[in-house]
Amino acid sequence: MPSWFGIPRCPVNPQEQHRYRVLKALSIEGGDNGACNAGIYLVQSNQSGRIYVEKRLKQRDVHDGHAGREVHALKQFRGQKNLCQIIHWELQPACIPRIYLEHYELGALDTLIERYKRRSMLLPQGFLYHTLGELSKALCFCVHGYLPGGAAPVVWNTIVHRDIKPGNVFLSTRGDGLYPRVVLGDFGCSVSERHIKEGIASPLVSRQAPAFAPPEAPSYSTRSDVFQVGLVLHCMARLIAVPDYHLVASHQAIGTSYPESLQGVVAEMLRRDRKFRPSSQDLPGKVARRTEAMLLRHRQEPLRPWAFR
């Protein structure tokens, strides 16, 4: 029997299906973090002892192609530090559909925002610039398969995430410099250019967090992801769980507590007409230049230790 969508069969050896030990549930089916999956678990490899995340999927996600598209997207991203890394997957009918992913031990960005909100403290401006820079690199790689200054791949299948929000942005101590590594994850709503052309995926979004939908939804493009990253920065600056579209519409997404250079680039990303937003290719350079200028004028403030406890 051939593999479906190029995805390996479930292992024949029953012991292979028990290569991981469940440590605890991170979310259950139907919860806020489980709306498009059948539960998320922290697991440990019985062979290496390393900790991973097991994302269980619904059978309908396998049948309608969402699971296959997520696996194919993640396989393309191997080695890119700002994109979630896939370890193993089991999607054949004999298995509980599931994907094993790298574990990001500092949790999701929405938790960090909530902890700063409880203490009525703003996130450091350096961390906002850092997060924007890292997510802009993630978008650039999704679309082009390389980062500015790198070599373009001979063949690349553009990926559009379609569901970027603080809960899908993860943090890890395995980073460079003062701030954590920032990783874009949860590609369960993603779609590729090839799958659209082949009629495998719909040109309209069928599911995503409505609060983070761009103005052009349910249609989308690579610049729809740019808009959603702008909303993530808006939530970080305002310490809110979901966007306040009154502030966005009145060009106050970031507020005056942060530099005009940051306000300006986020305002460009949040333009209603997508053709006037920065492209995923131009965004990393634009952010890098503004970050360099900021660093010349301001000393970076670290995140507080209690932010990850």
Nearest-angstrom CA–CA distance, 64 and 170:
27
Q: Tell me which DSSP letter residue 85 carries.
A: P
pLDDT at 15 over 80: no
Q: How does pLDDT run across 44-81, given as a tens digit for each residue?
A: 999 999 999 999 998 888 888 888 889 999 999 999 99
Percent residues over pLDDT 90 in the chain:
71
Choose which CATH entry (3.30.200.20, 3.40.50.150, 3.40.50.620, 3.30.1360.30) describes domain 10-102: 3.30.200.20
* 11: confidence class by pLDDT, cuts 50, 70, 90: very low
pLDDT in tens, 214-273: 999 999 999 999 999 999 999 999 999 999 999 999 999 999 999 999 999 999 999 999
Distance CA 230, CA 267 (A): 8
Cα–Cα nearest to 127, from 186, 180, 169: 180
Domain-by-domain residue ranges, the chain?
Answer: 10-102, 109-299
Query: Cα separations (Å) of 217 from 66, 88, 259?
Result: 19, 32, 30
pLDDT category at 17 given cuts 50, 70, 90 is low
Q: Where are the alpha helices (DSSP H) in the chain?
A: 59-63, 66-76, 109-118, 125-144, 193-197, 222-238, 245-249, 260-269, 283-297
Residue range 109-299, CATH number:
1.10.510.10
Q: How far apart are CA 84 and CA 190, in angstroms?
A: 13
Confidence category of residue 182, pLDDT binned at 50, 70, 90: very high
Whether the CB-CB separation of 3 and 9 falls below 8 Å is answered with yes
